[in-house]
Amino acid sequence: MTMEAVVLHHLDNIDARLHNFRQLISEDPVADSRWTAYQPNLGRKIYKGAISP
């Protein structure tokens, strides 16, 4: 059971981080930039990917 608990903990942590990244990207005020503004809690900017035409 301990191994399963550790795996579930890490999966939950990854899920929370992905949700945070998606939220920061979707709420970024500069939609036409490939990068978000600097995120102090992460210590970096987030790459949003290629801009769709």
Distance between CA 26 and CA 32 in Å, rounded? 12
Q: Which amino acid is at 38?
A: Y
* DSSP per residue, the chain: -HHHHHHHHHHHHHHHHHHHHHHHHHT-S-TT-SB---BTTTTB--B--PPP-
- CA distances, 25 to each of 6, 13, 30, 38, 40 (Å): 29, 18, 10, 11, 14
User: Taking the model in full, what pTM does it have?
Assistant: 0.76
pLDDT tens track, the chain, 53 positions? 799 999 999 999 999 999 999 999 999 998 888 999 999 999 999 999 876 66
